[in-house]
Amino acid sequence: MNAPIGVFDSGIGGLTVAKEIMRQIPGESLVYFGDTARVPYGSKSKNTVCKYSKQIAKFLLTQDVKAIVIACNTASALARGELEDMVDVPVIDVVQPGARMAAASTKNNKIGVIGTQSTIKSGIYESYLHKINPELTVVSKACPLFVPLVEEGLFEDRITEDVVSRYLHDMKEYEIDALVLGCTHYPLLRGVIGREMGESVKLVNPAYETAKSLKDLLKEKDLLNVSGEKPEHKFFVSDGVDQFRSFANSILPYQVENTTVVDIESY
């Protein structure tokens, strides 16, 4: 089916998921929405994140999307249920695939999870991980300064190194061997995070498993694009078009020519 897939996040973080979808299912067109005017979501309440996510889903449906990927852990944790009730297309989140991947990655059954305040407070990763394996020890930590560092483009910077070390230093005591990057912005800091945690800790980026789950789902529902037509991606934001476009072009294997501003509050 030659309809696009809707992908959304609070800002540029979801581009790490979009990139993986483009790699694993290159025949599919994407409609990406980054809520750059209202980022960050990670410090906001469930009510607010649900309201924002529903507005975005309404917008994505006007683009005739055949599925929606919540490329944001915070929205996955707080709004997935409400979103699913509202739309009649399949919805995929990033948390369940991320938990599956982490459980499969650990050898010593000790997993770390980092994410926004709201994601960590929701306990959603622990809950999925313990459903998969009740024996797992899960150590969680909110890292609220990571998102602004990414949105400022400070992927490799002394300030970033200081902040990463401050948040993750204590986690090393638990001898985890897998660390879930439980916010879609964090893979953009994986160099600094990897150096801080050391080689014995596998960094788990849920994007890989999310794209795989999406592919399986599209196959199962007979929704894969088999028309052979070249995919066309569209990008929308709620503010800051130029900054978004230059980020998108540095992250994606695709030349983003146009990005359009949407008055998301009107949805």
Nearer of residues 78 and 178 to ligand DGL, judged by Cβ = 78
Q: Which of residues 29-88 bind ligand DGL (CB under 6 A)?
A: 39-42, 72-74
Please identify the residue of the shown chain whose CB is closest to the bound ligand DGL: 42
Q: Closer to ligand DGL at the Cβ: 44 or 202?
A: 44
How many residues in the shown chain lie near ligand DGL by CB under 6 A?
Answer: 17
How many other CB atoms sit within 10 Å of the CB of residue 152?
Answer: 12
Structural contact between residues 229 and 2, judged by C-beta atoms closer than 8 angstroms: yes
Output 168 or 223, the one with its CB closest to ligand DGL: 168
Strand-by-strand arrangement of the 202-204 sheet: 137-142, 110-115, 178-181, 202-204
Rounded Cα gap, residues 93 and 210, in angstroms? 7
Residues 113-152: x/- map of binding to ligand DGL (CB under 6 A)?
---x--x---------------------------x-----
Nearer to ligand DGL, 204 or 223 (CB): 204
**Rounded to the nearest whole angstrom, what is the least distance from the CB of residue 228 to ligand DGL in the complex?**
34
The smaller minimum CB distance to ligand DGL, of residues 24 and 117, is found at 117
List helix spans (H) across the chain. Answer: 15-24, 46-62, 73-86, 95-105, 117-122, 124-132, 146-151, 158-168, 190-197, 206-220, 241-251
Is 72 part of the annotated catalytic residue set? yes
Name the active-site residue from 17, 21, 129, 183.
Answer: 183
Question: In the complex, what is the shortest distance from the CB of residue 188 to ligand DGL, in angstroms, rounded to a whole number?
Answer: 10
Residue 112 as a binder of ligand DGL (CB under 6 A): the answer is no
- C-beta of 142: minimal distance to ligand DGL in Å? 10
Q: What residue type is assigned to position 100 of the chain? A: R
Cβ 165 vs Cβ 196: under 8 Å? yes
Say what angle helices 95-105 and 124-132 make with each other, to 10 degrees: 50
What pairs with residue 138 in β-bridges?
Answer: 111
User: Rounded to an integer, what distance in angstroms lies between the CA atom of residue 75 and that of residue 92?
Assistant: 11
Of the candidate residues 13, 98, 187, 240, the single one contacting ligand DGL (CB under 6 A) = 13
Say whether 183 is catalytic.
Answer: yes
Contact 72, 94 (CB under 8 A): yes
219 by Cβ neighbours in 10 Å (0-12 / 13-18 / 19+) ranks as exposed
Among 5, 9, 98, 207, binds ligand DGL (CB under 6 A): 9
The binding site for ligand DGL (CB under 6 A) comprises: 9-11, 13, 39-42, 72-74, 116, 119, 147, 183-185
Residues with catalytic function: 72, 183
